[in-house]
Amino acid sequence: MKDHSILRWSGSKARLLPSLLRFAPQRFNRYVEPFVGSAALYFAVQPSRAVLGDVNPEVIDVYRAIQENPHAVADALDSIPHDRAAYDVLRSIAPGHLDRPQRAARLIFLMKSCFNGVYRTNRSGHFNVPMGNRIYALPTRAQLELAHHRLRATDLVCSDFETTVKTSKSGDWVYLDPPYKPKGRYRGEFGYGARFTDECMVRLLEVARKLRSKGCFVMLSYKYDRDLVHHLADWHIHHASARRSVAGHSIFRESERELIVTSYS
């Protein structure tokens, strides 16, 4: 299935799309995705009305820039040479010193070129991922225009997931794709620029239950986790497998067992 995402993003659900679409509700009002990242499912579904959120301001800025002026983003992308020197310069610039189209082009280019498509920041909040061994194809002007048309009827929210879903109503489809629990010890670096702690997961499950009782169609995807299956035993649990897009060194990439849990049958 073709991935229409603009960003290359660790944790992208592009490879899980056939399973996610299989378990989509047949009809829904608005599409709400509070952990949007590269928005793989949103671009595949092409909903007529949507709310997209992420706690990472750089991610939301990319979609705002494309929503406002896709040509300015395309021009900014065109001005970037495809080499390591450009990567080093862009990585060292604080995004706040650029205008919105330039910030969007910077993140799109860094993600297409960085090691394994990982977004990670240091303690000062600065992107610190080294360059990978190739630069993946950057979005064309036509792809940015298409994304612009899709984003026109979409509200963008830079916030924690709980705020993004607050306006969800009965009949809305809410897709929850939180970060997976990190493996290994915390070393002061932030995957996705934020930490998704065990407390965040507990809060997310409470929010998911509230959304279900409001009458929303809730879908949650996560790596296979016995505790999660236990907590959501009264939901509909589906098993899927997908080759992880990013999992450290390429020799460790393998098919992972994934869960797709829905509040509806």
Is residue 34 involved in binding ligand SAM (CB under 6 A)? yes
Residue 13 three-state SS: coil
Q: Is 235 annotated as contributing to ligand binding? A: no
In the range 155-184, which residues lie near ligand SAM by CB under 6 A?
A: 160-161, 177-179
Please list, residue by residue across 36-45, b when 16 or more beta carbons sit within 10 angstroms of its beta carbon and e when fewer do: bbbbbbbbbb
Is residue 189 involved in binding ligand SAM (CB under 6 A)? no
In whole angstroms, how close is the CB of 252 to ligand SAM at the nearest point? 18
In whole angstroms, how close is the CB of 40 to ligand SAM at the nearest point? 4
Alpha carbon of 202 to those of 69, 74, 263: distances in Å? 39, 41, 17
Binding residue for ligand SAM, selected from 4, 13, 15, 103, defined by CB under 6 A: 13
In whole angstroms, how close is the CB of 79 to ligand SAM at the nearest point? 26
Which phi and psi (to 5°) does residue 144 adopt?
-70, -35
Q: Please state whether beta strands 120-121 and 31-33 pair in parallel, antiparallel, or not at all (unpaired).
A: unpaired
122 to 161: interface string for ligand SAM, x by CB under 6 A:
--------------------------------------xx
Binding residue for ligand SAM, selected from 20, 32, 40, 207, defined by CB under 6 A: 40
What is the C-alpha separation between 52 and 31, in angstroms, rounded? 8
Is residue 235 involved in binding ligand SAM (CB under 6 A)? no
Q: Is 9 annotated as contributing to ligand binding? A: yes
Long-range contacts of 238-243 (CB under 8 A, 24+ apart): 238/19, 238/23, 238/262, 240/16, 240/19, 242/13, 242/15, 242/16, 242/19, 243/15
Q: Is 13 annotated as contributing to ligand binding? A: yes
**Torsion-angle region of 192 (φ positive above 0: left; ψ -120 to 50: alpha; else: beta):** left
In whole angstroms, how close is the CB of 62 to ligand SAM at the nearest point? 11
Q: Which residues are annotated as a binding site for S-adenosyl-L-methionine?
A: 9, 13, 54, 177
Residues of the shown chain interacting with ligand SAM in the complex, contacts defined by CB under 6 A: 9, 11-13, 34-35, 37-38, 40, 54-56, 59, 160-161, 177-179, 192, 194, 196, 200
